[in-house]
Amino acid sequence: MPLPGRWLSSMLLRSQRDVVLVDCGEGTQISWHLSGWGFRDVEAIALTHLHGDHVAGLAGVLFMIAHSNRTDPLTIFGPRGTYQVVEALTIVVPALPFTVQIIELDGGESYTLPDGLELRALQVDHRMSCLAYTFYRERAPKFDAERARALGIPITLWSKLQAGETVNVDGRTINPDQVTGKPRRGLKVGLVTDTRVTPEIPDFVRGADLLVCEGTYGDPELRERARQRGHMVFDEAATIARAAEVRRLILTHFSPSMLDPEKFVQHARAIFPETEIGQQHQTITLAFDDE
């Protein structure tokens, strides 16, 4: 539940022109507003599941997006049942100036957003159908300008080769791999909440630059409670991060009974040192290696 000074968990992700909001609890429009990011450019909303703390803010968010003069369609991803929930919540915002497309997922699907960001979903283990998500930005291989010049390729054709197209130069066919280097590491972000640990999660988030994972409870003594309610303890999230060889772990979705999550962070750091407690309105910029 939201508390004074603690908003509900939600993540806004931007990569080039693709903007995605993941989860939308009560008050998300205020957090979004405080982030300074505009509402108009959002391409999709991805819902992990249909508990109130992840969806109850949807009407307000849609109202703000409408207020931003957006007219392009908006996609809402979520588990089975999303259509019914969105339909009910949007009764109070009936005349949206854009169409809302709803895509219900079972887990296992992947979608590429208009500007190339790839979304993947995995079914996890909560008290109802629940999805974890990853977002992946591919990185094009490096373009070898010297080789392109040596092959006599005019600069006007370079962008086509960079985009992976074959070009024709004075009757010669030039393939992109003649002027590009090795494949390069892209960027991957994982969002895992609300769930128990499942055997599939580490592979799903493998190698992520950033994993945002629930840690509803910090105290290992509360493991049984976590199990009953379909949540994780900090050290379980850290175990996923270590097994998946992610670069960085941010814990989120704290129980209102845990007033100071920092008190328990050592339980996670003992397993995965690059663990942080998620902060209010935290903004993180990820860059490609060597950029």
Does a cis peptide bond (omega within 30 degrees of 0) precede residue 194?
yes
Q: Give the integer Cα–Cα distance in Å for 159 and 263.
A: 52
Minimum Å distance from CB 65 to Zn ion? 23
Among residues 281, 216, 288, 280, which one has the least CA distance to residue 247? Answer: 288
SS (HEC) of 95-119: CCCCCEEEEEECCCCEEECCCCCEE
Instruction: From 48-56, 105-113, 153-161, 276-284, give the range in contact with Zn ion by CB under 5 A.
Output: 48-56
In the DSSP assignment, the letter for residue 128 is S
Q: Does 235 bind Zn ion (CB under 5 A)?
A: no
Minimum Å distance from CB 77 to Zn ion? 17
Report helix, strand or coil for 19: strand
- The residue among 24 and 148 lying less far from Zn ion, judged by its C-beta, is 24
Q: Site mask, Zn ion, residues 104-143, x = CB under 5 A?
A: ----------------------------------------
Count of residues engaged in binding Zn ion, rule: CB under 5 A: 3
Minimum Å distance from CB 82 to Zn ion? 14
Angle of the 82-89 helix axis to the 58-67 helix axis, nearest 10: 60
Q: Does 26 bind Zn ion (CB under 5 A)?
A: no
Instruction: From 14-22, 50-58, 265-273, 275-283, give the range in contact with Zn ion by CB under 5 A.
Output: 50-58
Minimum Å distance from CB 132 to Zn ion? 13
Q: Give the integer Cα–Cα distance in Å for 79 and 95.
A: 25
Q: Does 194 bind Zn ion (CB under 5 A)?
A: yes
210-214 vs 74-79, strand pairing mode? unpaired
Residue recorded with tokens 């090795």: 182
Q: What count of residues does the chain have?
A: 291
Which two structure tokens, joined as six digits, stand for 256?
């209102």
User: Which helix (H) or strand (E) covers residue 170, if one does?
Assistant: none
**Active site positions, annotated:** 53
Minimum Å distance from CB 23 to Zn ion? 8
- The residue among 8 and 240 lying less far from Zn ion, judged by its C-beta, is 8
Residue 79's CB is within 10 A of a number of other CB atoms, namely 21
Q: Does 214 bind Zn ion (CB under 5 A)?
A: no
Q: Does 23 bind Zn ion (CB under 5 A)?
A: no
**The one among 18, 23, 43, 53 contacting Zn ion by CB under 5 A:** 53
Instruction: From 72-80, 87-95, 180-188, 193-201, give the range in contact with Zn ion by CB under 5 A.
Output: 193-201
List of residues contacting Zn ion (CB under 5 A): 51, 53, 194
